[in-house]
Structure formats: C-alpha cells, structure tokens
Amino acid sequence: MNELNEGQIAEWIDVEVDVGTEEDVSFTEYDISASPNDFNIKTLFDFIDSGIVKIPGFQRNYVWDIKRASKLIESLIIGIPVPQIFLFEEAKNKFIVIDGQQRYMTIYFFKKKRFPRKEKRLELREIFDVEKGIPEEILNNNEYFTDFNLQLPTAQSNQVNKFNKLNYYTLDENDQTSLDLRTIRNIIIKQNSPDDGHSIVFEIFNRLNSGGINLKPQEIRTSLFHSSFYDMLYKINLYGSWRSLTPTTIPNLHMKDVEILLRGFAMLMDGSEYKPSMTKFLNKFSYEAKSFPPENITYLENLFKTFVDSLPQGDEKLFHSKTGRFNISVYESIFVAACKDAFQSKNLETKSISTDQVERLKNDQGFIEATQSDTASEKNVKYRIDKAIEVLN
C-alpha cells in the first residue's frame, strides 16, 4: 500500500489506554549534582551552533510567535532578568536542554537574523534533527524563514520603541555588545547515581518543562531518546497496511501510535524482563535502542511489515477490544505471539493468524480482564502474552 505524507498528523480520540499500574508505585532515589553557571548570549549561541548543546525539545517544534520572541530579546538588551535554563550533562561538553528550548532557539534565530515561518516548523524540526542544526541554505530560504526584525509595541502612541524593526545586525554597536554579554543562568544537572546514565532525564524533563504544553510520555521519550531505531518507528508508522488497522489513517499528534509500535518491539525483545512501570520499561528500552546496529533495525522493520501484511485482510478492527476501541494490550499480545519464533530464529517467518483465532483470544475471560484492569501489572502483561501465544499457535 502507499505510504502517507509525513505532514499529515491528527488526534486520536478512541484508543484505550492502560489503567491501574501505569505509574510506578516505587520511588527511585537519585544522587544528582546541580551547578549554576552564568553564560552570556554569545556563548549560548556558540553552544547551539557547535552542537555542544542539543535541543531535543525541538521535536515538538518552536512555538513562540515573533512578538513573544521580540520581547525576550528586548528584555535581554535592556537587562531585565529572564528565567533560568536547565541543562542535563550527558557527557563531557555534551548537554541536553531540559527546560528553556524556546529561549535558546529565540537567541539562535535572532543571532542568525532569521525567524521560522509557522507553516514550515514541522518540516524544520525534521531538518534540524537530521542535520544537527539548520543549514545556511535553509536559513536563507524565504520559504522557510523570514527576517527576524523585532516587533515591539510602544507604550504610548506618540512614543517609538527604539528597538522596533531592528535585527541583530542593525542594532547599534553598544546595544549589540550589551546583548552579547548579557548572561542567563544555566543550571547544569548531572546524574551521579544510579549509574544508568539516563533515568533522571525523563523525570526532570517531565517535572521542569515549562513550555506551556503538557507533553505526553512518548513526546518526551521521543525527544530524549531519539535514534535510528526511532527513525524506523516513524517510517513504519506511515506504512499503509499498519495505518489501515489504526483508528485514523493519519498519525497521532501526541505520538500514541509510535508508542504502540515501541511497546510491541519492547515486549518482543525484553518482555520476559518486564516489571512496572510501563513508562520506565519503555524509557529503558528506548535508551538501549540508541545503540542498536543498523542491520538489526532493518530486520525489525522488515519483521513488522511481514507481520502486518500477513494479517487477515479487511478486518480493520482486529486490534479492537470487546469495547469496540483500539486496544494497545491486544496489539502487543498478538504482535509478540506472531513474531516471537521468527525473532528468536532471526527470520521473517511470522505465524499466520486467522480472524477466528483472534476472536477466540479476545473472548477469553482472563484475557478480557487482563486488558481492562491493572493492565500494566507484571502479572497481567505476562498473562496476556502467554495466552496469545497459546491461542494463536
């Protein structure tokens, strides 16, 4: 089937989500250090331009309009304090912005003298991720950017804001120097223990992010653990045979469909080690997936396509529960049952599954209960997958 345009995005309104033990009931203690550093604007720009600081939050786009961005620049020029920025130290001279993406990108755009067009920001996000920045030819392309001339209101009709309509290069020398030397406090956070190198990032991002948008776990996960494996997830999420089995033909705005695919692979590969919470399980798998070899990722892509292409044709509600809604637990159980032997043998011979087999599975009382209550518990996850393997064999 034809794949869909990546620009097509939509909300889902009819997907059953996990209930019961999705959030971990345990508490993990962390040993972290947080050191304040006052970096000037020139240094912050150089951090981004050189790749020392990564902007994973760009996954959800730059959302400020030019008037709000202009107010930040004006505040910096005249010396009004602005909120601090939080960075996570991944390694020596390698940082991730946890909170402050919009401020960082506004500084970057103003120094570049270019402002992103609203209708092009999704596409720019993808360019930014691939190129690890925005190439000069894109910055200078008026289809993507317009000139970043400050748009600042005046307090009274007979007054003129002296910075209005100026850009970085038309500021007078004193104001430009004032801007370059103005500092913003950056709090650099480093995880000392546990020694997994990453688990605190998700928690801090979730708690500190103040961009005005309530991000879903998969949106945060996508930003923090982006990898070639994730690129593959985005690709197969557009695969026609898969989209015909989902609630809409276009991807979910909050990446719920990507999370469904992620869960299927995580359960297939690491399901025997699953322990709640589901969020931590998927975070750990996503972190480990950053080191998957290219040939393994290609194999997983082909395995998934073989799986969906072999499913009964015309049954668009194959992964729906008895409530009539797409159910994540039903999908992952069937996916694991159909692909487990092939995965273990590293071939593409997935099990052939009939509609009758799937209906028997979905009518099993124990399976119904395990997909409707306490769905992320270790007991119910194991029961669902074991029952699917039993019924679908």
- Torsion sign, CA atoms 256, 258, 264, 269: negative
CB 176 within 8 A of CB 74: no
CB 186 within 8 A of CB 38: yes
- What is the crossing angle of helices 256-270 and 217-224, to 10°? 70
- 247 closest CA partner among 84, 1, 54, 10: 10
Q: Do the strands 183-193 and 31-40 form a parallel or antiparallel pair, or are they unpaired?
A: antiparallel
- What is the crossing angle of helices 355-363 and 378-392, to 10°? 140
CB 107 within 8 A of CB 47: no
Distance CA 272, CA 295 (A): 23
Q: What is the DSSP annotation of 133-195? A: S--HHHHT-TTTEEE-------SSTT---TTTT--TTTS-HHHHHHHHH-EEEEEEEEEEEST
CB 97 within 8 A of CB 56: yes
Q: What is the DSSP annotation of 27-64? A: ----EEEEEEEEEEHHHHHHHHHHTSEE-GGGGG----
Q: What is the pLDDT of residue 340?
A: 97
CB 355 within 8 A of CB 315: yes
Q: Most distant CA pair in the chain: distance in Å?
A: 81
- 3-class DSSP state of 286: helix
Q: What is the pLDDT of residue 7?
A: 43
20-to-159, 216, 293 alpha-carbon distances in Å: 60, 17, 35
Distance CA 171, CA 184 (A): 20
Q: What is the pLDDT of residue 59?
A: 45
Distance CA 215, CA 286 (A): 17
Q: What is the pLDDT of residue 335?
A: 98
Q: What is the pLDDT of residue 99?
A: 83
Residuewise pLDDT in 10s, the chain (393 residues): 444 444 444 445 456 555 444 444 444 677 888 999 999 999 999 998 888 998 765 445 688 999 999 999 999 999 999 999 999 888 889 898 888 889 999 999 999 999 999 888 878 877 776 676 788 999 999 999 999 999 998 766 677 889 999 999 999 999 999 999 999 999 999 888 877 656 777 777 777 655 555 677 888 888 778 789 998 999 999 999 999 999 888 888 778 999 999 999 999 999 999 999 999 899 999 999 999 999 999 999 999 999 999 999 888 899 999 888 999 999 999 999 999 999 999 999 999 999 999 999 999 999 999 998 899 999 999 999 999 999 998
Residue type, 289: A
The pTM for the full model equals 0.70
